[in-house]
Structure 1
Amino acid sequence: MKILVTGADGFIGSHLTEHLVRLGYDVRAFVQYNSFGSWGWLDRCAPDVRGKFEVFAGDIRDPHGVKKAMQGCCWVMHLAALIAIPYSYHSPDTYVDTNIKGTLNIVQAARELGVDKVIHTSTSEVYGTARYVPIDEQHPLQGQSPYSASKIGADQIALSFYNAFDTPVSVIRPFNTYGPRQSARAVIPTVISQIASGQRQIKLGALYPTRDFNYVMDTVRGFVAVAQSDKSIGEVINIGSNFEISIGDTVKLIAEAMGVSVDVTTEQERLRPEKSEVDRLWASNAKALELTGWAPQYGDKEGFRRGLEETAAWFVNPENLASYKTDIYNI
């Protein structure tokens, strides 16, 4: 079975590509074309999978290239997206083109080619600040940033093709994924990379919001579980740890895991606009267990601590840390 993974050059996509290869699947990795010939994180993939997957360089915004990439594929795992919330404040048009139109290109080609299944990647940001917890898949959607609004649009485009044309679409909705290779625009790698570079005065935004952090290998296993389950077609499925923790307490756990003491400075430029900040996220993962059998291996506080230790161990490697600019604010 050939599987197309879009966004395979990114954080989650590269881990997913490696995992699928190890499971014995025939993987075509869709990476963003660039003049450097870079395959993103796949340039540094694990030795045991190197050379064992096909690479297609293209642009998710180009319907012709997308359709060509999907030819001969049974499953499509669609992860390609713009994800940085601060960048969406000043460049929202690019989020519409990439996230909404890119998803339209995927499901339109899937319909025309008769693809067996499309796994479309959503985000917990579409829920906005929790109106009740834990957040299940029936929770109202709230576009509190251009990014989250674009993902709501993308989700609805994907589901509309299931409803209108019976295109076999499943929507996987990961909560805050973290782990090795994550961009420093996210809070956990921001903290870890600053500490790893020798800083003890950590610069952050708001500390009070809570999140449901999901270790990347749990997220990757979630993709496979959703893909393998016939019950997932036409469904939206949360992938989360069902463990809530504040950003401030997360910083303390990271410092403990790395054996240091730190102070936190809140910088104005790192704060979201007041009505755009998502104050609380806490996932219900009951539907994932019921429909796919998936459950987190890094759930609860001890699992989170273990995931942070594994993430920190990767970042402190000088070769890995060299990929990060720890002295600037990454949007």
Structure 2
Amino acid sequence: MIYFLFVAAALITVVTAVKLSTYADVIGERTKLGGMMAGVLLLAGATSLPEVTTSITAVLVDNPDIAVSNVFGSNLFNLFILAAVDLFYRKRRILQAADTSHLSTAVLGFFMTACMAVVILFPPGWSIFGIGLEMILLVGLYIAGMVFISRSGTHLTPLSADEPEPQHNAISLRHAKRGFAVAAAIILAAGSALSVTGDMIAQATGISSSFVGAFLIAGATSLPELVTVIVSVQLANHSMAIGNILGSNVFNMLILFIIDAVYRGGPVLSVVSPAVLAAAVGVLILNALVIAAVMIVNRKKPAAMYSLPSALVILVYFLSSYAIFSFS
């Protein structure tokens, strides 16, 4: 019964998150919120909402390992999605659509993750109003990075670069706002169910909460990104596919601030298991590989070498998953 509820909550989360992304796209277009900053915040925030709800619920049921490992596990799975889709559609050479904004976003995500990995390894224990000082610095790093990317003149291509999607024309702004609110409420409930059932699965099977959060729950909450990336590729908007993954990963890191603010047992990164550090290191390695892959493919290397970076990312993802399980 627990597994049925978990799968049901995952399916509801995926379907609703896809609708949420559609409404977010409509709101962005109809309110003229276009542009790199608004686009990343709106779309990445929409597809990252499942991670927010599951992590907050995990903290409320006193399972910080699930909460934090869900964030790093989702980022791991997102990079795996990008590599897997790039490998599957290798003839389209998706990564060649990456520009300086994508590289800047990937580098920002790398440094945010690196900072949190250091804090997990050497927790300072400092806090301001119950929030770890490292989390305040994390938010500051995010804001500074986004301002830098915005001022550099880079941008992310909208989902429909040449013409709006037909279904978007049929959705009014009022309908989109109401739909967004309803979808967000459904995801709040479904995401909460994912955390509760995930915690129950960990207790029933003896599998660590860190592995459940980084593998099962993270995979389920990252499925909306998978759908969004596949849709973007089918529309030949490879830039949006890359931007959604990298933007979501950066946005996901801010969830750690929310987790820390809700958790009452002190700085949350000081109480997590070593498996969470393994997940963070895995994200660092995959992020570095994606950055290297983008730089390599944009140098017009031979076609035979194109798929190698993505294949390496997939291999490291499974090695990271095994490391998380081993440290659990």
Q: Choose between structure 1 and 2 for higher RCO, CA contacts under 8 A separated by at least 6 residues.
A: 2
TM-score for the superposition, normalised by structure 2 = 0.26
Structure (1 or 2) with the greater helix fraction? 2
TM-score for the superposition, normalised by structure 1 = 0.26
